[in-house]
């Protein structure tokens, strides 16, 4: 029993261990099996108590429970709604990150205790922070993430003196110049809910920097601006390698022109309108223009403006992943053909006849258009069939016979898993396809189509076929290369 005095156990653990050790002592040699069972239970009790505290559910913590938690030496997510200085002191002794997912208030005393934490501190639900508590957090060297929506001038001034970086994703307004200057020294600035800033604050958040200096790291700002002035745009690209402004719905040609720089990763996922003049200016920027959520609202005039500038010289790597329809041939030839795209064109569902004709005649390899819902151009199908790699048109619900014949000439994997029905002619053509063929959208097949497809020379997947006549099922089952569901009516 003296061994217990040397073990770092809670009172509950000591009672459990004592009970189990008594069981072991009382067991005789004739009860060896019982002794082994008792020892196993001892191990289970110790392990359960060491890891059984669910910090994501407890609304309050004792110092003893906090001690058990920090033994885990891993990031802790805590559901406590109140935090005493004593418990805060114990939790701060952990070298791991601490996330208080439900804490809405923080006293200066508890803040002073948490400031000794060596990891990051997360307080996403913190509704208010006094100047005294902000001052107490100043020595903390890790990242401090808070859900504050507003800051008084005194609290902002106190946060400006922090040793570590501060993350303020929920803050809706920033008017404190001293805090902006402190945030501007961070490699990453998090202000995703700030809608407007003055030119002075913009310059403070984005101080001039030599972006080629590797010591600065990859400098980024995430800010929720709903309007971007040319002055703010120039400040950002002069200081940061990249930015995200996902609340920005439009941008003036003047601000777009100010974004020109040697390299900037520009993420503007909230854009809803792009004028032709803005399109021309954005196409002159460098780096990456990521507007992946934009697409349905791109007018033909703006598409032509993009195309005209993209053809004249260097331009950014575009992410046009949100485009739903291509109607301007000169623009389509660039984005589907030779343009440098950061992302794919996975959103394009429709092509105009002029675009399909232009793409079919292009001498460039075409990028995949996996979301097309209609393909009626046999010439375009043949163009894709001649290209190396897989061909994916899994969103096509139907396929004309001449398109099926063109695609069947492809030598690799052909994914038509959205096609719901096959004519006998289409099935006959696809049976000659030499690579893997996916037709998992076909649920019912005619005898004529089954007879034709049963001659398939390559692997065919019909995993969702549910209805076929006995004759059709028999013909398909006669070809071992055709994968059918186990239950086929």
Alpha carbons 455 and 370: distance in angstroms, whole number: 27
Burial (CB < 10 A; 0-12, 13-18, 19+), residue 57, is exposed
Q: Per-domain residue ranges for the chain?
A: 2-49, 268-372, 382-489
The dihedral over CA atoms of 131, 134, 138, 143, expressed in degrees to the nearest 10, equals -150
Do 430 and 404 contact (CB within 8 A), yes or no?
A: yes
- pLDDT 10s per residue in the chain (489 long)? 443 443 434 444 455 545 445 544 444 444 434 443 444 444 333 343 444 568 778 999 999 999 999 998 889 999 999 999 999 999 999 989 999 999 999 999 999 999 999 999 999 999 899 999 999 999 999 999 999 999 999 999 999 999 999 999 999 999 999 999 999 999 999 999 999 999 999 999 999 987 665 555 689 999 999 999 999 999 999 999 999 999 999 999 999 999 988 889 999 999 999 999 999 999 999 899 999 998 778 999 999 999 999 998 788 999 999 999 999 999 999 999 987 888 889 999 999 999 999 999 999 999 999 999 999 999 999 999 999 999 999 999 999 999 999 999 999 999 999 999 999 999 999 999 999 999 999 999 999 999 999 999 999 999 999 999 999 999 999 999 999 998 885
Name the one residue in this structure whose structure tokens are 């013909």.
475
215 Cβ contact list (under 8 Å, min separation 6) = none
pLDDT of the residue at 295: 79
Q: Return phi, psi of residue 94, to 5°.
A: -70, 145
| Three-state SS at 222 | strand
Position 18 scores a pLDDT of 53
Q: What would the pLDDT profile of 214-257 be if each residue is shown by its tens digit?
A: 555 689 999 999 999 999 999 999 999 999 999 999 999 999 99
What lies within 8 Å, CB to CB, of 35 at 6+ separation is 23, 24, 27
What is the predicted pLDDT for the residue at 296? Answer: 75
Contact criterion met (CB below 8 Å) for 176 and 151: yes
Say which residues have a Cβ less than 8 Å from residue 370's Cβ, sequence separation at least 6: 346, 392, 393, 394, 395, 415
What pLDDT does 392 receive? 97
**The pLDDT value given to residue 211:** 66
Yes or no: say if 246 and 226 are a contact pair by the CB < 8 Å rule: no
How far is the CA of 356 from the CAs of 345, 360, 371, 377, 380, in angstroms? 15, 6, 15, 7, 6
Instruction: Using CB atoms within 10 Å of the CB of residue 49, give its burial: 0 to 12 exposed, 13 to 18 middle, 19+ buried.
Output: middle
pTM assigned to the model: 0.81
């Amino acid at each position: 029993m003296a061994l217990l005095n040397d073990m770092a156990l809670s009172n509950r653990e000591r009672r459990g261990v004592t009970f189990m050790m008594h069981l072991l002592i009382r067991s005789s040699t004739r009860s060896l099996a019982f002794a082994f069972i008792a020892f196993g239970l001892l191990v289970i009790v110790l392990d359960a108590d060491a890891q059984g505290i669910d910090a994501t559910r407890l609304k309050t913590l004792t110092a003893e429970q906090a001690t058990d938690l920090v033994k885990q030496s891993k990031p802790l997510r805590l559901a406590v709604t109140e935090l005493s200085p004593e418990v805060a002191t114990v939790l701060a002794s952990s070298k791991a990150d601490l996330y208080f997912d439900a804490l809405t208030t923080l006293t200066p005393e508890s803040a002073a205790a948490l400031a000794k934490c060596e990891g990051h501190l997360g307080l996403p639900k913190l509704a208010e922070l006094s100047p005294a508590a902000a001052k107490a957090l100043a020595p903390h060297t890790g990242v401090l993430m808070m859900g504050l929506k507003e800051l008084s001038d005194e609290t902002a001034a106190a946060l400006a003196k922090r040793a570590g970086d501060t993350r303020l994703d929920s803050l809706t307004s920033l008017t404190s110049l001293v805090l902006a200057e402190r945030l501007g020294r961070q490699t990453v600035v998090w202000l995703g809910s700030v809608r407007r800033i003055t030119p002075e604050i913009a310059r403070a958040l984005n101080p001039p920097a030599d972006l080629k200096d590797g010591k600065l790291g990859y400098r980024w700002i995430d800010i929720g601006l709903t309007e971007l002035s040319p002055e703010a745009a120039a400040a950002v690209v002069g200081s940061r390698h990249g930015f995200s402004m996902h609340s920005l719905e439009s941008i003036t040609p003047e601000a777009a022109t100010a974004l020109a720089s040697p390299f900037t990763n520009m993420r503007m996922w909230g854009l809803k309108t792009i004028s032709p003049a803005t399109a021309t200016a954005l196409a002159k920027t460098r780096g990456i223009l990521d507007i992946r959520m934009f697409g349905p609202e791109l007018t033909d005039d703006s598409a032509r403006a993009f195309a005209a500038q993209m053809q004249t010289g260097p331009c950014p790597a575009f992410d046009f992943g949100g485009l739903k329809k291509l109607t301007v041939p000169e623009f389509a030839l660039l984005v589907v053909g030779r343009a440098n795209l950061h992302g794919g064109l996975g959103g394009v569902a429709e092509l105009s006849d002029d675009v399909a004709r232009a793409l079919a005649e292009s001498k460039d390899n075409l990028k995949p258009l996996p979301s097309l819902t209609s393909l009626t151009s046999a010439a375009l199908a043949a163009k894709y069939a001649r290209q190396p790699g897989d061909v994916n048109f899994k969103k096509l619900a139907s396929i004309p016979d001449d398109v099926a014949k063109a695609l069947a000439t492809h030598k690799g994997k052909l994914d038509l898993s959205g096609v719901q029905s096959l004519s006998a002619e289409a099935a006959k053509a696809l049976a000659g396809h030499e690579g893997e063929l996916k037709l998992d959208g076909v649920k019912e097949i005619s005898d004529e189509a089954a007879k034709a497809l049963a001659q398939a020379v390559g692997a065919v997947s019909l995993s969702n076929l549910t209805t076929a006549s006995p004759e059709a099922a028999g013909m398909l089952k006669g070809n071992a290369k055709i994968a059918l569901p186990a239950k086929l009516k």
